[in-house]
Chain A
Amino acid sequence: MRWRWFHQWGSPRWFYERAGRWQLVFGWVSLGLIAVGTIWGLGFAPVDYQQGNSYRIIYLHVPVAFLAQAMYAAMAVSALVLLVWKMKIADIAMQSIAVIGFTFTALALGSGAVWGKPTWGTYWVWDARLTSMLILAFLYLALIGLRASIRDPDQAGKVCGILVLVGVVNLPIIKYSVEWWNTLHQPASLKLTEKPTMPASMWIPLLVNILGYYIVAAYLVLGSMRAILVERERRSSWVKELVDRV
């Protein structure tokens, strides 16, 4: 009985239906949270004494930067599940997360560049955190490109899983080596272990937004997984039933 929960995940139809329901919940919750966090952050949070109003881009930049890295961790867990338990849904998760993770990384780089202009006077500097974010973007791209080049989806999934795991061992080394190489970025403004360096009226909306972006990421991943699932299972009877109903 203990394994029933586990095996259900192997059933594409079960996953498709269940994920559809979760998606609805996640969609509305994230919409609410991001609306509250963004309006609060942009309209009502106090002005920063040093950076003026330009600091308000953190309400976009920090959540997407968090997610850019969290997505890689989620992908690594999926890769492990795929390679150890050969669960196909984990492969679909990996495929979805690679694209969405790349999008978040690109957004983090883009919003960082826009923020860098008023703060540092330049769009881009070869600073440690920017550089390791750029390398992360290249790693995501590598996964997307590798998968696109292999025709058989099962084989592509396993090969990508190996690359994800090699990457997850290397990412901390890359991060520390780049940090050692050069650092000029301001220290992280939110740390789990320390009290935030900004007042509560600034960081509470930020926290709301971070939570909202995490949930919107789950919403996007589930949506993309469902689409890939239907496409891969297009010859199975449950998908045909689904199409007939529509």
Chain B
Amino acid sequence: MSIEKRIIARELWLAAARPGDIVKPIWFLLLVISMVPLALTPDSELLAEIGSAMIWIATLLALLLNSEHFFQSDFSDGVLEQWLFFDRPLAWLVGLKLTAHWLLHVLPLILISPVIALTLSVPGDVSIALFITMLVATPALTCFSGLGAALTLGSSRSGILGVLVMMPLFVPVVVLASGVLIRAMDGSETLPLLALLGAFSVASAVLVPIAVSLAIRVNIGGSN
């Protein structure tokens, strides 16, 4: 079995051993969303207007919630150190791990978003736009939250720090995504913005793993 397959298989086994880690972000997302009408108003017209943005923010938070300890266990049990000795670039292996993370922990959040949109009476075409936006934008967000986790590996009490460090870098994604949603609500063309968002995601998927691998190297070197 190639190294790539083994890494993916290991991620799947680990996820199967702890199904709670997959359920918790969805649970969190549902809780945050049910707070919205309670805190604001049950008025479905207003909810339809702000619903998609609310789902987007709640998904962002849920995504950050489960990326906090992204590399921590692999770091402390020495798996990351082993990765340095594989005949593959570290950035490539990091990319694989990020992909597995996206499939296991982020994709479920995206898949459930149309159902949540329904409860906030978001119109159908907007909810489709939201679904596509999330598919296109979350790879970039996953990469950046992975970077936050890698940067804080050496922190004594990392806690929420990785999230705080990475949130400012989410701005372009959030802005472009909200642009798509506003245009979908107006019924105007969303494709150009989705293309920009996609370009940002692709660029992040290529470049951020390199920064992540640098951060991992620094932290492994520093712990000796």
Contact = CB atoms under 8 A, between A and B. Distances in A.
Nearest to A176: B172
A181 B155 contact: no
Contacts of B179: 180-181
Given A162-B214, A166-B147, A166-B211, A149 B168 contact: no
B171 A177 contact: yes
B161 A149 contact: yes
B167 A162 contact: no
B154 interface: yes
A177 B197 CA distance: 11
B222 interface: yes
Contacts of B208: 166
A158 B152 contact: no
Nearest to A147: B155
B161 A181 contact: no
B17 interface: no
A181 B156 contact: no
Given A146-B161, A149-B161, A155 B171 contact: no
B176 A149 contact: no
Interface string A121-149: 00000000000000100110110011001
Interface in B91-122: none
A17 interface: no
A185 B211 CA distance: 35
Size bracket of the B interface: 20 to 34
Contacts of B200: 173
B158 interface: yes
Interface string A169-184: 1100110011011000
Contacts of B18: none
Given A145-B164, A146-B155, A159-B151, A152 B222 contact: yes
Interface string B164-176: 1111110110011
A138 B214 contact: no
A149 B171 CA distance: 24
A155 B150 CA distance: 13
A61 to B, nearest CB: 22
A180 B175 contact: yes
A174 B172 CA distance: 5
B167 to A, nearest CB: 7
B155 A177 contact: no
Interface of A: 135, 138-139, 141-142, 145-146, 149-152, 154-156, 158-159, 162-163, 165-167, 169-170, 173-174, 177-178, 180-181
